[in-house]
Amino acid sequence: MPWSTSDRRQRLPRNWRHIVARIRRRDKDRCQVRLADGSQCPNSYGAIDHIRNDDDHRDENLRVICDPHHAEKTGKESAAGRAANRRKQQAKFRRTEQHPGLVG
């Protein structure tokens, strides 16, 4: 998510820096994403990730994630958001009644 168009920074708690430091220590600065074979990603800290895409800043919803995995996750979340917005826009223009030529 580009910070330039996001209000995410304003929604972070005042003690965010302390939370980041605590999560980095807990996760030993190592990406917590599990690979397809079940092993842990060997990459190191890139960002603190909200596991569920919300404003839950509790430790159990936060983890260290490497930049490649963060970019992948963000891309998937962005694509899902765009698709949901498209569906919402399309729903505005759906006919609620049957076309007159099809009324039988």
d(CA 82, CA 77) in angstroms, rounded, equals 9
Instruction: Indicate if the pLDDT at residue 1 is higher than 50.
Output: no
Give domain status of residue 72, yes or no. yes
Domain ranges, residue 32: 8-94
Residue type, 34: R
Q: What is the pTM of this model?
A: 0.73
Whether residue 104 lies inside any domain: the answer is no
Please report where in the chains the tokens 């983890």 appear, as a residue.
63
Q: Is residue 37 part of a domain?
A: yes
Residue 64 lies in a domain: yes
Q: Are 82 and 103 in contact (CB under 8 A)?
A: no
pLDDT 10s digits, 5-44: 667 778 899 999 999 999 999 999 999 999 999 999 999 9
Please give the tally of structural domains in the chain. 1
Q: Which residues pair with 16 in a beta bridge?
A: none
Instruction: Give the whole-angstrom CA distance, residue 74 versus residue 30.
Output: 19
Residue 99 in domain: no
Quick check: is 101 in a domain? no
Tens digit of each residue's pLDDT (9 = 90 or more) over 42-90: 999 999 999 998 889 999 999 999 999 999 998 998 888 888 888 888 7
